[in-house]
Structure 1
Amino acid sequence: MDVTPLIPEGRQLIEAYGDGAFRITGERYAGPVIVFPEETLDWNPAEVADLTLADFVPVTGREPAPEILLFGTGARTEFVLPSLRASIREKGPVVDIMDTGAACRTYNVLLAEGRRVAAALLPVD
């Protein structure tokens, strides 16, 4: 029995991460990215401790807004200010913060389920 999730053609599947980069649907991206089901964007955020709502405009300004934003903070989970999470939530998506590996895996599962998901990912060296 094949248990591989079926991903519709043209969707952005996170295939690998590490060495400061990601491989998403066969393409290599160096540095931080934001992944949506339809496209992947290069991302230039502030340091985690200095993040503001402006860093997440590519997600919060999207119509329709994703239901869920997975924020991969690198090799380990680093939390953001509750006020930032609340500000993002006011714009639409629920924010789930985790290490980048967990965010990549969770994104792929939610993508396979057909959810409106986005992943803002900091690379792992």
Structure 2
Amino acid sequence: MSASVCNRVLQRTTQSFLFSSRAAPAFSSPFLSRAHRLGPSDDEMYQRTSMSIMQKEPDGGIMIHSYSARGFNIDGNKVLGPCAVLPPAILQWNVGSHEDITEESVSLFHMLEPRIEILVLGTGERSERIKPSVLALLKRKRIAVEVQDTPNACATFNFLISERRVVAAGLIPPPVSTALETTQQ
């Protein structure tokens, strides 16, 4: 009998709760309601956002725009021959080929302050092996090295700069492609 009395009381309270004028609708959550307006208390949950589309950010870093057999176009500056790109500077690099990359020629990369994280080396037309002593020196100085052909090294450098990494590049222009030369017979 006490169980039946409890059931009746429970049914009456739930019915009065469901049909009460004070009862909130089932979809009263601000996340489920389409008509919810943001109030001052919601400011912490909903922050304004902004985005820039196809807009160069100020101080975005040096970008390599093009390369040729004669040199590079770096942010509108024409650089002839091999170069060292050390944001924010562009320097002539005294190397003729990948064989000229020595401990002395990479010394300018590990003397920089702030210390660079990654050195991207473009070795010309194709990726070439760098002397193990050079790689060991850069490893001791805690500089990661990425050795690639020059076209890929330029793209890698641009990507790392856009990611705001502390990166430098040593680039050797690729030779003139023989596939594009025409001969007269």
TM-score, normalized by the shorter chain, greater than 0.5: yes
* Partner Cα separation in structure 1 for residue 72 and residue 100 of structure 2: 23
Cα pair 1:33 1:41 within 8 Å, conserved: yes
2:88 is the counterpart of 1:38: yes
Match of 1:14 among 61, 64, 67: 64
**Distance in structure 2 (CA, Å) of the matches to 1:113 and 1:124:** 26
1:58 aligns with 108
1:97 correspondence with 2:131: no
RMSD: 2.0
* Alpha-carbon distance between aligned partners in 1 of 2:124 and 2:136, rounded to the nearest angstrom: 21
* Residue segments in structure 2 that go unaligned for 5+ positions in a row: 1-51, 176-185
If asked which structure has higher relative contact order (CA below 8 Å, sep 6+), I would say 1
Asked if the contact 1:11–1:39 (Cα under 8 Å) also holds between the matched residues in 2, the reply is no
Change (3 A) 1:68 1:7: farther
Question: Residue 125 of structure 2: which of 57, 71, 75 is its match?
Answer: 75
Structure-2-length-normalised TM-score: 0.61
Q: Percent identity?
A: 36
SS at match of 1:105: helix
Q: How many residue pairs get matched?
A: 124
Per the TM alignment, residue 5 of structure 1 is displaced from its structure 2 partner at its CA by 7.9
Richer in strand (by share): 1
Contact 2:103–2:133 (Cα < 8 Å) also in 1:
no
Detail structure 1 runs of 4+ shifted over 4 Å in the superposition. 2-7
Report the counterpart of residue 88 of structure 1 in structure 2.
138
Cα distance in 1 between the residues matched to 2:129 and 2:168: 18
Q: TM-score, normalised by structure 1?
A: 0.88
Residue of structure 2 equivalent to 1:115: 165
Residue identity opposite 1:19 in structure 2: A
